Structure 1
Amino acid sequence: MFGIPGKSPVTITQAAERQIARLMSGKQAVGLRIGLKKGGCAGMEYTMELAQTADKADEVVEQGEARVLIAPMAQMFLFGTVIDYETGLLESGFKFRNPNVTDTCGCGESIRFEPLEGARAPGA
């Protein structure tokens, strides 16, 4: 992981921690795997899935009963991200406050990162 020793690569809010733990216990999952894939009008989309096993290359972030597994190709793009869970009148869901995002689409479902010199985008 592209990180700072002693500092978590992502921050999980208490609301997200509760929701992740609830989802994990309902499916007997080892964690919520977060990644990126090509898609959407801005170029990239977040992916989330309940994982039954952790891959050796996953970055694992544990907080309370919640566990987030960051897929290898997404690690450098998610460093510094705050993962939240918001409940509203019309929709509820996970929200990512990612300081690495340089642009989003109008609906907020897809994101864009500035290309790193010599690096490939996830899924490329």
Structure 2
Amino acid sequence: MTQKQALTISETAAARVKDIMASRGAGYLRVGVKKGGCAGMEYVMDYITAPEPLDEIVEDKGVTIVVDATSLLFLLGSEIHWDVTPISSKFVFRNPNETDACGCGESVTLVPAQQAS
């Protein structure tokens, strides 16, 4: 039985991450969530040279993504996307565990993913 990947990354996001990592000399994209904002949680991203011992490692579209162990249940099933509009460009999480978001889009309400039966 094959285990489903914790999260995925779109082609456009993968291309952008590769460009950023090449310019910074980083080897991994680290993602997670932290408490904050009016809706309760915020997504966080960083570029790192080595994962922590309990991190989940995901390989997708040529990018190595490190998921913070404490954030894993909140990010299961998510896709990281690179969104470009006429006035901005940013990474966006398409997350099935997101139940609400604040009006300004800076924070979200997340529930842990439910274990499949």
TM-score normalized with structure 2 length: 0.88
TM alignment of 1:15-94, pairs within 5 A: 15-94=12-91
Partner residue in 2 for 1:103: 100
Deviations along 1:42-71, one digit per CA (max 9) or x if unpaired, are 010011111121112111111243121100
**Cα drift, residue 109 of structure 1:** 1.2
Contact 1:30/1:54 (8 A) holds in 2 = no
**Cα drift, residue 78 of structure 1:** 0.2
Question: Where does structure 2 lack aligned partners over 5 or more consecutive residues?
Answer: none
**Cα drift, residue 5 of structure 1:** 4.1
User: Aligned pair count?
Assistant: 113
3-state SS in 1 of match to 2:70: helix
Question: Where does structure 1 lack aligned partners over 5 or more consecutive residues?
Answer: 117-124
Contact 1:42/1:110 (8 A) holds in 2 = yes
Partner residue in 1 for 2:11: 14
Partner residue in 2 for 1:120: none
Determine what percentage of the aligned residue pairs are the same residue: 39
3-state SS in 1 of match to 2:86: coil
3-state SS in 2 of match to 1:25: helix
State the AA in 1 paired with 2:8: T
Deviations along 1:73-107, one digit per CA (max 9) or x if unpaired, are 10010000011001121110101010001111001
**Cα drift, residue 10 of structure 1:** 0.6
Distance in 2 of aligned mates of 1:5 and 1:73: 23
Distance in 2 of aligned mates of 1:112 and 1:67: 26
* Shift >4 Å, 4+ stretches: none
